[in-house]
Amino acid sequence: MRILVVGRGGREHAICWALRKSPKVQELYCAPGNGGIAEVAECVPINEDQFDDIAQFAIDHAIDLVVIGPDDPLALGIVDHLEAKGLQVFGPRANAAIIEGSKVFTKELLRKYNIPTAAYESFSDYDAALAYLRQQRAPIVIKADGLAAGKGVIVAQTMEEAERALHDIMVAKVFGESGNQVVIEEFLTGQEMSILSFVDGEVVRPMVPAQDHKPVFDNDQGPNTGGMGTYTPLPHIPASVIEEAIETIVKPTAKAMVAEGRPFRGVLFAGLMITPDGPKTIEFNARFGDPETQVVLPRLKTDLLDIFLAAVNGRLGQMEIEWSDEAAVCVILASGGYPGSYPKGLPIEGLPDVQDALVFHAGTAKREDGSVVTNGGRVLGVTALGASIAEARAKAYAEADKIRFEGKHYRTDIAKKALV
Ligand code: AMP
Ligand code: GLY
């Protein structure tokens, strides 16, 4: 079969890497891809928002399935657009991708269907929001409604910080139109957990759970990033809690989307907090997580293409999906300055020395002479597998140390919580 993956990050590298293992995959393309994806797929210079060009490429190359990686094109209706041209696509349509694209929509859905989440109110009027905020106590969470490149959530430790965030979002419009509405939400405490599931309507097939590390520095210090590292499984979280999250949050949400006339097909990503009152929803994403995918897919034993095809053909419920018992740890190597501004085009050395880990490229470019240079904030994800988290973690760090580029930085405490 001929497959086209849309996206350019570590997530798409992991998806392409997993698809490459399928004996059914004859041609694999990625638009636009990156320096690492080029090793497993043919990269085509079409951006994620060029829907017409993506459709034309897929038609011209007789693509059997298009797989969408990132959130922005999903929210903008890439799936609807490609389906209208007769293409088969794995990913949610716009009316379902709204579960990530609008936090107000999702909070209202969760409230309507009694699905556990943080208490909240939403506002489109700044003065009303400010009046409500002033009746609350810090810490408190302020969220821009729309997509904001992962930066639209402010966990405010003081009321001053909360008021500033509200002003930035609604008045200064630092996230643009995404700030037309806000959610003001109760601060939840506990362990975070990501449960990604293959979903087709009411059929939910959970993947192995993972944990991300969002703040840029060790011990969760510093500003939030797209994610600095992940691991799976979560040995310190009881299986019953994971089961409870699937039964009380993920499955009811998929069902609620069907009831709303917005059946979800694709990967539904539940960001959860395990609070003293049980698991609660922090957010939903309408796609694979990045860098969750870089630890989850290496544990997948079933052919990923078979799962995608089952989902688009209404057979997901009958799929046998198998996972390995191994642990996986992914350490992200970031550019100096990230998540603020950072340089690009710096040479990366040591990649051929990595023997015992998978290196998923997040922000790299391949030069004509074959050398690989930095081209993004998160540059590489080094994923190691092992019999235990401790083993996978030691390997991931040992291999990550072999890679060099100017300004390289990473967290040294990925998966540390799971060692106790
Ligand atoms: P999001 O962009 O929605 O994933 O949020 C970014 C991060 O903010 C999450 O990973 C959590 O660490 C934190 N966060 C979001 N909502 C809450 C909440 N209600 N309580 C505590 N932390 C939160
Ligand atoms: N790692 C979090 C996300 O993909 O949104």
150 has a pLDDT exceeding 80: no
How many helices (H) and strands (E) in the chain? 13, 22
Pocket of ligand 1 contains residue 153 by CB under 6 Å: yes
Please tell me the predicted confidence (pLDDT) of residue 130: 96
Q: Encode pLDDT of 235-279 as tens digits.
A: 999 999 999 999 999 999 999 999 999 999 999 999 999 999 999
- Distance, CA 72 to ligand 2 centroid (Å)? 13
> What are the phi and psi torsion angles at 319 (to 5°)?
-70, 135
pLDDT value of residue 148: 84
CA distance 281 to 32: 33
Element (H, E) at 380: strand 378-386
Residue from 285, 330, 332 to probe ligand 2 pocket by mutation (most atoms less than 8 Å from CB): 285
Q: Would you say residue 149 has pLDDT above 80?
A: no
Structure tokens at 279: 């698991």
Place of tokens 């069907």: 258
Instruction: Give pLDDT tens digits for 299-351.
Output: 999 999 999 999 999 999 999 999 999 999 999 999 999 999 999 999 999 99
Alpha helices in 180-248 (DSSP H): 239-245
40-78, pLDDT tens digit by residue? 999 999 999 999 999 999 999 999 999 999 999 999 999
Q: Give the C-alpha separation, 233 to 415, whole Å.
A: 10
Q: Taking Cα atoms as reference points, which of 407, 410, 406, 260 lies closest to residue 398?
A: 410
Pairing between β-strand 2-7 and β-strand 42-43 as defined by DSSP bridges: unpaired
- CA 291 to ligand 2 center in whole angstroms: 6
**pLDDT of residue 223 exceeding 90:** no
Mean pLDDT of 372-387: 97
Give the pairing of strands 278-285 and 203-206. Answer: unpaired
Q: How far apart are CA 332 and CA 329, in angstroms?
A: 10
Ligand 1 centre to CA of 35 (Å) is 31
- What residue ranges define each of the domains in the chain, with the CATH number in brackets? 2-91 (3.40.50.20), 119-186 (3.30.1490.20), 191-318 (3.30.470.20), 327-419 (3.90.600.10)
User: Model confidence at 224, in pLDDT bands (50, 70, 90)?
Assistant: confident
Strand ranges inside 209-307, DSSP E: 211-212, 215-217, 221-224, 229-232, 265-275, 278-285
Choosing from 155, 274, 287 the residue with most ligand 1 atoms within 8 A of its CB, the one to mutate for a pocket test is 155
Say if residue 151's pLDDT is above 90: no
Distance 143 CA to ligand 1 centre (A): 9
**Residues with Cβ within 6 A of ligand 2?**
212, 227, 285, 289-290, 292
